[in-house]
């Protein structure tokens, strides 16, 4: 079986837990996810099965949408509610909506973000969270991210006795964005400690939460003999690229990793194209300007006929 399943990851599970369970359900080791969700976060987690694992990176390149909550008034080691409190400042009055909106707007566009210490990014061969748990410090890599929008979706609430303000938000962003760090940075813009207190991923890899299925749904589909019906084709990850249907002769060249002249592919020199054969995505080819030819970027499925 090959394809992509838009899994709904429930809270309390790691993304790797989901991969492990999908390996058992689909009876294959070739399973990969397209972007980690922390255990305390739920939402859409596209999982690639079989040959579709070859398009994981293309799924990760797509944008993501989250909704969640930011609490102003305290900060933690992990930038969410899982960590220890490291800073507190009781607010005497809430921030005005316009002030919050302006601070959020300043955190959109192309930004440089420093990932949290409690994250899976590797530095010198070790995960950052391994350094953090050992009480060690290490210089973290600065990363370029894209935040398309960052906005309030409801009126904020203010708890006078706690001196805390809660902001309901939605954010659309590119790959590699740590939303909990975005929450902390919003607090810095406002001059107060902040923490991400809730998060759900609404969309990822071109899938929305309304399309997502739970692990229990997949197990039920196995019992009914309908598991394959839960899968989207690998081509779902490649929708943004132009597609070209190969002739039998061209397919004979492509399945051996050969080059193609642009004059045989419509005459347009597009940077990347998806090559189709028998209604399936077989390969991504990129245009080499220097040599004026299309050449393999990623082979997807080189088997004959239908799968």
pLDDT in tens, 286-302: 999 888 899 999 999 87
Mean pLDDT of 5-21: 95
Distance CA 126, CA 138 (A): 10
When pLDDT is averaged across residues 55-82 and rounded to a whole number, the result is 92
Question: pLDDT band for position 192 (50/70/90)?
Answer: very high
Local confidence band at 63 (pLDDT 50, 70, 90 cut-offs): confident
Distance CA 11, CA 298 (A): 34
Mean pLDDT of the chain: 91
Write down the pLDDT at residue 267.
Answer: 64
Structure tokens that stand for 230 in this block: 């839960």
Answer yes or no: is pLDDT of 215 > 50: yes
pLDDT band, very low/low/confident/very high, at 12 (cuts 50, 70, 90): very high
| Residue of higher predicted confidence among 264 and 47 | 47
**DSSP class of residue 27?**
T
Residue 53's φ and ψ, nearest 5 degrees, are -60, -20
- CA distances for 72 relative to 54, 161, 168, 206, 211, angstroms: 41, 14, 11, 32, 33
Confidence at 307, pLDDT banded by 50, 70, 90: very low
Domains of the chain: 3-60+206-236 (3.30.2350.10), 64-204 (3.30.2350.10), 241-299 (2.30.130.10)
pTM for the model stands at 0.89
Nearest to 33 by CA among 207, 224, 182: 207
If we measure between CA atoms, which residue out of 250, 207, 209, 254 comes closest to residue 231? 207
Spell out where the chain has E strands. Answer: 3-9, 31-33, 42-49, 64-72, 74-76, 85-88, 109-113, 122-123, 126-127, 143-152, 157-159, 164-173, 194-204, 207-208, 243-245, 272-277, 280-288, 293-299
pLDDT in tens, 220-258: 999 999 999 999 999 999 988 999 999 999 999 999 999
User: What pLDDT shows up at residue 197?
Assistant: 97
pLDDT over 50 at 260, yes or no: yes
Cα distance between residue 70 and residue 64, in whole Å: 18
In this structure, what are the phi and psi dihedrals at residue 224, rounded to the nearest 5 degrees? -90, -5
Query: Distance (Å, rounded) from C-alpha 251 to C-alpha 280?
Result: 12
Tokens of 124: 């010198």
Own/partner pairs for 299-304, CB < 8 Å, 24+ apart?
Answer: 299/54, 299/257, 300/51, 300/54, 300/55, 300/234, 301/2, 301/51, 301/234, 302/255
d(CA 201, CA 172): 10
Cβ atoms 163, 90 nearer than 8 A: yes
CB 104 within 8 A of CB 151: yes
- When pLDDT is cut at 50, 70 and 90, the band that residue 306 belongs to is very low
CB burial of 153-191 (b: ≥16 within 10 Å; e: otherwise) equals eeebebeeeebbbbbbbebbbbbebbbbbbbbbbbebbe
Contact call for residues 150 and 171 (beta carbons, < 8 A) = yes
Query: Which residues are annotated as catalytic?
Result: 38
Place of tokens 């410090």: 137
The H or E element that residue 248 is part of is helix 248-254
From CA 200, how far away is CA 217, in angstroms rounded? 20
């Amino acid at each position: 079986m090959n394809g992509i399943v838009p899994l709904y990851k429930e809270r309390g599970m790691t993304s790797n837990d989901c991969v492990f369970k999908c390996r058992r359900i689909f009876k294959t080791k070739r399973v990969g996810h397209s972007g980690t969700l922390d255990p305390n976060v739920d939402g859409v987690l596209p999982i690639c099965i079989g040959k579709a694992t070859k398009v994981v990176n293309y799924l990760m390149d797509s944008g993501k949408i989250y909704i969640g909550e930011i609490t102003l008034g305290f900060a933690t080691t992990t930038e969410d509610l899982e960590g220890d409190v490291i800073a507190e400042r009781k607010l005497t009055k809430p921030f005005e909506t316009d002030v919050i909106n302006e601070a959020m707007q300043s955190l959109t566009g192309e930004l440089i973000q420093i990932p949290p210490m409690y994250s899976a990014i590797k530095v010198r061969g070790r995960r950052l969270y391994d350094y953090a748990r050992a009480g060690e410090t290490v210089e973290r890599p600065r990363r370029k991210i894209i935040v398309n929008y960052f906005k309030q979706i409801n009126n904020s609430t203010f708890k006078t006795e706690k001196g805390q303000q809660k902001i309901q938000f939605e954010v659309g962003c590119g790959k590699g964005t740590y939303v909990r760090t975005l929450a902390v940075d919003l607090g810095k813009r406002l001059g107060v400690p902040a923490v991400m207190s809730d998060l759900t991923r609404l969309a990822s890899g071109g899938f929305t939460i309304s399309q997502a299925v739970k692990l229990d749904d997949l197990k039920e589909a196995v019992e009914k003999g309908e598991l394959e019906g839960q899968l989207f084709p690998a081509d779902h990850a490649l929708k943004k690229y132009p597609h070209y249907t190969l002739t039998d002769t061209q397919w004979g060249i492509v399945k051996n990793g050969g080059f193609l002249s642009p004059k045989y592919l419509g005459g347009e020199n597009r940077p990347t194209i998806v090559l189709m054969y028998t209604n399936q995505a077989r390969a991504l080819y990129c245009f080499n300007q220097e040599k004026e030819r299309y050449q393999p970027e990623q082979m997807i499925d080189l088997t004959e006929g239908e799968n």
